[in-house]
Amino acid sequence: MQCLPEPPEPQYGGGIVRNADFSAGLHGWSAFGYGGLAEGASPTGNRYAVATNRTRPYQSVSQKVLLQNDTHYTLSAWLQVSGGVADVRVVVKTGGDFIHAGGVVAKAGCWSMLKGGLTAVSGGSAELYFESNATADIWVDSVSLKPFSKEEWSTHRATSAGTARRKTVRLQATDSAGNPLQGATVSLETIRNGFPLGAAMSREILTNPAYQTWFTSRFTVATFENEMKWYSTEPAPGREDYSVPDAMMEFAKQNGIAVRGHNVFWDDPNQQPRWVQGLPYQQLLAAASRRIRSVVARYAGQLIAWDVVNENLHFSFFERRFGWDASTAFYAAARLLDSGSALMFMNEYNTLEQPGDMAALPGRYMQRLKQITSGYPENGAGMAIGLEGHFTAPVNIPYMRAALDTLAQAGIPVWLTEVDVAGGPSQAYYLEEVLREAYAHPAVQGVILWTAWRPQGCYVMCLTDNDFNNLPQGDVVDQLITEWTTAPRAGTTDEQGFFQAELAHGEYKVTVTHPSLNASVSQSVKVELGSGSHYFIHV
C-alpha cells in the first residue's frame, strides 16, 4: 500500500513478460491505441516506460504475450502518473475479450503497486496494456505476469489453509501429582469449529421447522437478510417495529448462533425507507439520529458485528445530505452506543469480484477505511473489512487472492459477508473455489453465504430446494463443513503421557481414561492461531 520513490524489482522476475524492468529500454514494448511512447529514467538511473500524448483512456504502453489454456496468472506492475492522482487499470486483450485484471490509485511523485490477476480460459496470443480516464502520462515499471497451473494453485492454497487453520497439538495426561500417565486413552470431539461459516437468514425460519433444522445443523453465524434494515424496522416515521428481528435474535441465541447486525444505514438512495428519501436536512438529521440510537442500543452487546454504513464506496446518500464525513460520524456513534466487542464493518461489493469496478478497488477501499478511522475512537480499534462477494462466472480467483493480499495490509479482520455465485452450470464449482480461496487466506476470519431461504426463491443462489434437499451448491457447503471439521479421534498416551494430533482450530472436548481410574475425566480445550500447542489434562 506504500507509494515508493523507486519501484522494486518485478515479481517472479517478470514471469512471461519480456524486459519487465525496462533495463533494455523499450525493447518488447509498444504504444497502444495510437498514443505516444517514451523512455523515462530516474536520477538514480532506473528506467521505465512513459505513455504520452494521451487523449483516450486506452492509449498506453503494451506488450503481446502468449497465454496458456486453463491457467491462473498473477499480475503486478508499478505505476505513476505525471500529475495529480488517477485510477489506472490493467487490461488483457484476448482474441474475443477484454479482461480487466486489476487497478490501482496511481499518484505523481511516487510509485504505486497494482496487484491483480486473471484466469486464461483458452490459450493463445493476447496483449497486456493499461488504461485510465485521466489524460496524464502513465509511467510503467516492474511488470510481471506469472502463470500457475490450477494444480500448482490448489497445492499452494492447501498449504496455506493448513498453516492458517490447523495446528499440531500435544495433549499430556498427568496425575494429581503432575506425573505423566502412560497408556491413557484420549478421545477428541469437536464442540465448535474455529472458522465461522454462516448464512443469511430470513424471517421464514420463525415458522418453518424444516428450515430451522437445516440451518442449525450447519451454521454457527447468521445475518438477517432484510429484517434489521431501516425500511423493515421503521416503515413509517416514528412507527418502529422490532418484533421480527427480536424473534430471530431469540431463535439464534437458543441455538448458539452468533449474529451480524445488517445494517444500520445503507448509502444507496434507493434503499432508504420511502418516507426518508425526501426529508429536509433537519428532519433527516433527526430521523438518522433516532435510527442509530434505536437499533444499535437495542442490540448492543448481543451481536458480533455491525455493518454500519452499507456500500459507501458506490453510494453517498448521507454524504450528499450531511457532508463528506457522514460515514465517519456514524461509525463513531455506533462504537459509543455499542462499546463491547462487536466489530464495526465497512461492507462493500465488487472489491473482490470485479477488477474493472474502479469505485471499489482495494486501494479505494483502503482510502475510505483510513478516512473513517481518522475520526473513530481509539484510532480504528474494532473496525473490520466486509467484502460482500457477489460473484459472476467465471470467477477471477487470482484477482480475489490479490485483493485479499492488499486488504490484509490494514491488519484488521476481513470477512466475506454476502457470498453467492450467479446461476449456471458452473455455479457449484465456482462456489467451492471461492470458499476454498477465502478459507486458505490467513486474513479472512469468517464467511457468510447470501442464501436466505424463501418459498419464492433466494436472492441469487439457493443451497436447497423448497423441501430442504441439497442442490449441488448445498452439497459443496456440506462437503467443506465436513472437511474443515476434525472428525472424532482417539489414541493412547506415550511414556511421557503425550498424545499428539493435528486439529483444525476450534473448541474440543477431550476425554481421558486410564486403567487406574474408576471414571473418565473430560476437559474443554481451545485450539487457536497463536496460542500454545501444549495442553495439560490433569487426572
Catalytic residues: 311, 418
3-state secondary structure 374-387: HCCHHHHCCEEEEE
Task: Enumerate residues 6+ apart whose C-beta is below 8 A from 280.
Answer: none
Alpha-carbon gap, residue 330 to 308, rounded angstroms: 7
Which is nearest to 394 in space by CA: 438, 350, 425?
425
Distance of CA 7 to the CA centre of its chain: 28
Pairing state between β 138-149 and 47-52: antiparallel
Q: Scan for cell 497408556, then name that residue.
A: 183
Q: How many CB atoms lie within 10 A of CB 74?
A: 24
Q: Which of 74, 72, 67 is nearest to 97 (CA)?
A: 67
CA proximity to 93, closest of 137, 49, 60: 60
Helix, strand or coil, per DSSP, at residue 496: coil
Contacts of residue 195, defined as CB under 8 A and 6 or more positions apart, other chains included, come to 165, 439, 446, 447, 484, 504, 505, 506
Task: Compute CA 279 distance to the chain's CA centroid, rounded to the nearest angstrom.
Answer: 35
Tell me if 67 sits within 8 A of 56, measured CB to CB.
no
